[in-house]
Amino acid sequence: MPETVYNEEMLDEVVDACIKHLRMQPNDHEKLFYLGNAFFLKKQYDKATFCYVKAVNKNPKNPVYFMHLAHSYRELGERDQAVAAYESVLALNPKFADAHFNVGLVFYEHKAYDKALSSFNNALNINPKYAAARYYMGRIYEDQGMSVRALKEYRQVLEDNLSERLTKSSVTIDFGAIFSDLGLIDQAEAEYRRLLKLHPDYADLHYHLGIILRKKGDADEAMEQFRQAIKLNPHYMEARRKYWESAQ
């Protein structure tokens, strides 16, 4: 069995402990937040949202609470509420790059590309090396048929994050995604494996290879690639989600 990312029994213990504590101290917003996180990791998003809302009501000055509430709304498919929660984050902290990125991601998912680009640009203005924001800008340009501009963004992602190990002739990471979009799954897999030989400690490469392997039906190796991505970047939430989806 692959190494698990979260222990279900431990999550249950967190839930039980938080509930017990909150019976005695119902206004403890921090424990409400922890309880929401446990429910979120258990994919019980309605319960997570309930806890985050209560935490926000108890402490409306904490942008992190709003951030997690927004994530939970997204998982429930509640786009407008998610955007509103991300905007609450930015009202409290306009320099919260992750909030700009995530609201941009909501717009991207609903093909509101102009708004998405504006949000991704805001994230990049705060953190010029925000790889995910630049990556999705590339995706938008690719979707709009501006392949040259898209490849420029993809290459910049690599140069920003792996500059000490790259040369100008390096193949951009997203050629693998382009192969995948074209249905050339074997070529995509080969591209990511080639890049991983050069850059084995780059979490995004493991993640993207995992996506390809899932498409090919190789759930076990896909899980291993997601696990490697998480090991390299413990905050890689999308890799964690894909890991658990593969485990189902």
Query: CA 142, CA 155: separation in Å to the nearest integer?
Result: 13
Kindly indicate the confidence band of residue 187, based on its pLDDT and cuts at 50, 70 and 90: confident
Distances (CA, A) of 241 to 5, 48, 221, 223: 10, 16, 15, 11
Q: Which pTM does this prediction carry?
A: 0.61
**Position 30 confidence tier, pLDDT thresholds 50, 70, 90:** confident
Q: What are the structural domains of the chain?
A: 8-93 (1.25.40.10), 94-172 (1.25.40.10), 173-248 (1.25.40.10)
- Check residue 82 and give its pLDDT: 93
pLDDT for 194 equals 84
Residue 71: band (very low, low, confident or very high) from pLDDT cuts 50, 70, 90: very high
pLDDT of 62 > 60? The answer is: yes
**What distance in Å separates the CA atoms of residue 176 and residue 11, rounded to the nearest whole number?**
36
Task: Please check whether residue 73 is in contact with residue 40, taking contact to mean a CB–CB distance below 8 angstroms.
Answer: no
Mean pLDDT, the chain, whole residue set = 83
Determine the pLDDT at residue 138: 87
3-state secondary structure of 151: helix
pLDDT at 155: 77
For residue range 78-110, what is the model confidence (pLDDT) as tens digits? 999 999 999 999 999 999 889 999 999 999 988
Q: For the residues 187-205, what does the mean pLDDT come to?
A: 85
Query: Which whole number is the average pLDDT over 108-115?
Result: 91
Please name which of 111, 46, 109, 104 lies closest in space to residue 75, comparing C-alpha atoms: 46
Lowest-confidence pick of 60-69, 162-171, 199-208: 162-171
With cut-offs at 50, 70 and 90, classify the pLDDT of residue 232.
confident
The per-residue pLDDT for 66 is 94
Predicted confidence at residue 190, as pLDDT, reads 87
63 vs 52: CA distance, rounded Å: 11
Give pLDDT tens digits for 149-184. Answer: 888 887 777 666 654 443 433 334 456 665 676 577
